[in-house]
Structure 1
Amino acid sequence: MAQTPSSMHQIAARVATQLPAVSLSEPFGDGCLVHKIFDKVFMLSLNLNGHAIINLKVQPEHGAMLRDFYPYIRAGWHMNKQHWILIFAEDNLKI
């Protein structure tokens, strides 16, 4: 059952779709939106156990820094922990 996208998902999608050559698909089923540039995945938006999350590909040093500073950013879910971060939607998330 697809859930309504969170405001975090909506903002991320708006920013991502402004990038050149972005394509969107749902290869993992309803509710997991995959963003690609030239067939390379860079972002997944989904709900996990009722929580809005985004898996985002980042440079390893950026991911480590972001995880150190923000409690709602963790190593990527089901992804390479060095290259992906997981962002939870939180009330105090500043966009």
Structure 2
Amino acid sequence: MSATDLKALCLEQAAAEETFPFGAEVSVFKVAGKMFALSALDARPLSISLKCVPEVATKLRIEYPAITAGYHLNKQHWNTVLIDGSVPDRLVREMIEDSYDLVRAGLPKAVRLTLG
């Protein structure tokens, strides 16, 4: 999976936007102003940080050495995924979608209704 693929997957989520609050080298993907993904898309090795249900986050870290506790994030709720081919692309896609869904679910109902 490439940086272009990661960016496209994040931006295909409803009302997702790419922002740069930490500088031009770090893409922060948000929905309604709340972060659901973070990646330095030009960095090598490529990685992405995603929100996750704590129990699932722990299981994924055990199953995949390329998935670790979120770098500079709440380690209970965030995982960082090294995009090195060892984590199936399908799983990375699911993790992006799950992260988006978790963040969206935490938004006020009125905001969620405007997202479609």
Q: TM-score, normalised by structure 1?
A: 0.82
- Say which structure, 1 or 2, has more relative contact order (CA 8 Å, 6+ apart): 2
**Aligned pair partner of 1:18 in 2, 6, 12:** 12
Higher helix share: 2
Alignment partner of 1:45 is 2:39: yes
Look up the match of 1:56.
Answer: 50
- Displacement of 1:91 in angstroms is 3.8
Name the amino acid aligned to 1:34: V
Distance (Å, rounded) in 2 between the aligned partners of 1:14 and 1:50? 18
Q: Give the equivalent residue in structure 2 for 1:3.
A: none
Q: Which has the larger radius of gyration?
A: 2
Deviant stretches of 4+, over 3 Å: 47-50
Question: Residue 70 of structure 1 aligns with which residue?
Answer: 64
- Counterpart of 1:43 in structure 2: which amino acid? A
The total of aligned residue pairs comes to 89
Does structure 1 conserve the Cα–Cα contact (< 8 Å) formed by 2:19 and 2:29?
Answer: yes
> Residues of 1 paired with 2:67 and 2:26: CA distance?
19
Q: CA deviation at 1:35?
A: 0.2
Q: Normalized against structure 2, the TM-score is what?
A: 0.69
The SS at the match of 1:28 is coil
Structure 1 unaligned runs (5+)?
Answer: 1-5
> What RMSD in Å do the two structures reach over aligned CA positions?
1.9
> Aligned partners of 2:17 and 2:52: how far apart in 1?
18
Code of the residue aligned with 1:54 in structure 2: it is I
